[in-house]
A and B are shown apart, each in its own frame.
Chain A
């Protein structure tokens, strides 16, 4: 218990230090960090509708992040996460365009298909790794390209809008295929429920099941697995399947929650962003939940920068990169530990 409290303290100090670095660099750019953060906070959480927009961005990022915890635990670099998100969106679109599309059960069937499509796409990586000894980074990157290719083919081919073939996307789904929402501001209750169920489920898996422990063990030392009477290959395959399936849900959220159609860059780079988030959080599930929200707020609020301050939107990219790099450097330096021990000593 004590260790957990210390971990939270260390991460809090690290967060403050990271923000200080970002403030400093922004000042160097001749901008006012305070007004930038003010407009980001206003832009992402300034009103109920803005908050909901943030949630819609948060959903795929948080889902992709928790998906990556599974593969990272098994020691795998799941670069194929983007492709898995895309295939999940394809699965959801497939259902939305089928005869289910205008029925009330459409979103729930979409969930199943998104899970299946994404899981299948992840499993390809896993099979190539375990059976073919293909490094997961190569196969993942390749499958990302294949998935984008499939989407573009579908959009200008079989699923093109009537009369026009444009890369702006498919027809908008029937309203019944949209993710169900509540109230006038369209609070995406189903999506939020899915996120929390998956996070709690994952927490339970990693903390209290043999499966989770074996997954972690596989990531540390594949060679020793056999000695403990399990096959590391099986756990690598499962980790890719689960990660792919959860990433598929992120695709479902993008297709039926954000765009309401299939567009070429449906994954929005959220998969790669999630890799950074999980690295920052060292696979800690609760930190992942929080940090992924911070990044979503940054993305949504960042769109306000141009309107309010006349600054370029790319500044958000700089802030993100600064955040990740300073965080990782601070982690290496172990500065917080020294600070913390100083604080504790001065209190005594």
Chain B
């Protein structure tokens, strides 16, 4: 098995998405790296036949692949595993499987087909009940079913487009094992990801893209610092942080006894100083996001914040930022300016658009949002949407509640977002954020709340913890 990508170029209007890309892969797991907008997705779409390139060719085992046709790609053995599972939630696992397999009429000999499918499940040691509805599976399990379907169809080249963004640690481990065993069978895997640790752990070779071109081809052993420097040439920066900052004011987190693992009935108070950054750690699927939201809505648990003055905290002191930016956080069809107007709408009855324009152009500049007033937010990239949400933060002293503030963002955008968040440390009462990435929690928190499942396992200052302890806590080990 050998895949050769030769001189692939693609333009969208004036935007060069891919330019003269040459990659050759003989075996193993190959990583496709690059920041948001580097051209990874375009290349993946060209290989899988979803879009046709302007120039260039792809050879699979020296045979020319007919480009621009998904069926041709599938028949040539290309299988694509999407970031979000593209399956049929309301069908059973078996039915989902049957919809997309190569057998011309799987229902004619259902028993035989079923046995074949079962065999492939057993081969890769995946235990999933066939008869349950697909939507009842976790995202990780759905991805596994999809992967098996690709294998069943005889895929020789499997492309994984950021597959692990919704995986728990355990699922990731299983997936990686499966992938490694596949390479032993001669299957080539192209792995698209932002997460360097995964790439270092899993991949054999890697290509780094920047602005549509291949800038480096590297192979094992990888050096993460080296990769970062190559990916973000002349952009890498370490965030300056005010470590010595202290504040005499204190606030209290009153944790409901019911929220603790083991459910001892006594409530527990924790006092922290103003300006603390509190990371709520948890695995994918745990309730760490719910705890963030709960400070704002009080729907999930009785855990709450109390100020020393004992006054009830007005709702407007909180600024809540959901992880699902476009579904929960912003208004898809409204433009950027209208979002600023909306933010003003809690202060005034009548909108003075000139004034709003002044404020928003300042904010757009300050938060480095690449957009015009009249851009609808659905047109913005994920990073710009996130920066827009951050720019709508109230100016005065607040309690920030940030659900997975860097979800889906590349390294550079994430650093950029954190810089903005941390610059508010000296102003705000508290900054809460959730993350499934323990490294992110470790990097930015002063205090770590570890959540496993629905329960809080531990609350402590970072300096009294170790990273391994946190990993244990979020896995439910006390």
A residues with a Cβ closer than 8 A to B are 3, 208-211, 213-214, 216-217, 220-221, 223-224, 226-230
- For A226, the chain B residues whose CB sits under 8 A away are 296-297, 320
Residue among B332, B333, B351 making CB contact with A213, cutoff 8 Å: B351
Shortest beta-carbon distance from B375 to chain A in Å: 12
Report the number of A-B residue pairs with Cβ-Cβ less than 8 Å.
63
- For B334, the chain A residues whose CB sits under 8 A away are 216-217, 220
Q: B residues 314-341 with Cβ under 8 Å of A?
A: 315-316, 320-322, 327-334, 338, 341
A221 x B350 contact (CB < 8 A)? no
Instruction: For the complex, give the distance between the alpha carbons of A210 and B297 in Å.
Output: 23
User: With A211-B349, A217-B334, A224-B322 given, can you name 12 additional A-B contacts, CB distance below 8 Å?
Assistant: A3-B374, A209-B351, A213-B341, A213-B342, A214-B345, A217-B331, A220-B331, A220-B332, A221-B330, A227-B329, A228-B343, A229-B346
Shortest beta-carbon distance from A232 to chain B in Å: 11
Instruction: For the complex, give the distance between the alpha carbons of A230 and B347 in Å.
Output: 11
Residue among A223, A229, A230 making CB contact with B327, cutoff 8 Å: A223
- For A228, the chain B residues whose CB sits under 8 A away are 342-343, 345-346
Instruction: For the complex, give the distance between the alpha carbons of A227 and B349 in Å.
Output: 18
- For B320, the chain A residues whose CB sits under 8 A away are 226-227
Whether B309 is near chain A, meaning CB under 8 Å from some CB there, is no
Shortest beta-carbon distance from B462 to chain A in Å: 29
Residue among A3, A213, A217, A224 making CB contact with B328, cutoff 8 Å: A224
- For B327, the chain A residues whose CB sits under 8 A away are 221, 223
Shortest beta-carbon distance from B169 to chain A in Å: 29
Listed by A's residue number, 9 A-B pairs whose Cβ atoms lie within 8 Å are A213-B351, A217-B342, A220-B333, A221-B327, A221-B330, A224-B322, A224-B328, A226-B296, A228-B343
Most buried by B among A3, A214, A221, A226: A221
B329 x A224 contact (CB < 8 A)? yes
- For B466, the chain A residues whose CB sits under 8 A away are none
Shortest beta-carbon distance from B69 to chain A in Å: 25
Q: B residues 78-120 with Cβ under 8 Å of A?
A: none
Number of chain B residues close to chain A: CB under 8 A: 28
- For B353, the chain A residues whose CB sits under 8 A away are 208
Known contacts A220-B331, A224-B331, A230-B345: A208-B350 contact under CB 8 Å: yes
B322 x A210 contact (CB < 8 A)? no
Instruction: For the complex, give the distance between the alpha carbons of A24 and B345 in Å.
Output: 49
Instruction: For the complex, give the distance between the alpha carbons of A221 and B339 in Å.
Output: 12
Instruction: For the complex, give the distance between the alpha carbons of A214 and B374 in Å.
Output: 18
B331 x A210 contact (CB < 8 A)? no
- For B333, the chain A residues whose CB sits under 8 A away are 220
- For A217, the chain B residues whose CB sits under 8 A away are 331, 334, 338, 342
Shortest beta-carbon distance from B45 to chain A in Å: 23
Whether B344 is near chain A, meaning CB under 8 Å from some CB there, is yes
Shortest beta-carbon distance from B299 to chain A in Å: 11
- For A209, the chain B residues whose CB sits under 8 A away are 349-351
A229 x B315 contact (CB < 8 A)? yes
Instruction: For the complex, give the distance between the alpha carbons of A210 and B344 in Å.
Output: 8
Instruction: For the complex, give the distance between the alpha carbons of A211 and B342 in Å.
Output: 9
Known contacts A216-B334, A227-B320: A210-B329 contact under CB 8 Å: no
Shortest beta-carbon distance from B288 to chain A in Å: 19
A230 x B332 contact (CB < 8 A)? no
Whether B244 is near chain A, meaning CB under 8 Å from some CB there, is no
Instruction: For the complex, give the distance between the alpha carbons of A264 and B342 in Å.
Output: 44
Residue among A210, A216, A220, A224 making CB contact with B349, cutoff 8 Å: A210
Name the residue of chain A whose CB is nearest to the CB of B341. Answer: A213
Name the residue of chain B whose CB is nearest to the CB of A229. Answer: B346
Whether B348 is near chain A, meaning CB under 8 Å from some CB there, is yes
Instruction: For the complex, give the distance between the alpha carbons of A227 and B392 in Å.
Output: 11
Instruction: For the complex, give the distance between the alpha carbons of A229 and B393 in Å.
Output: 12
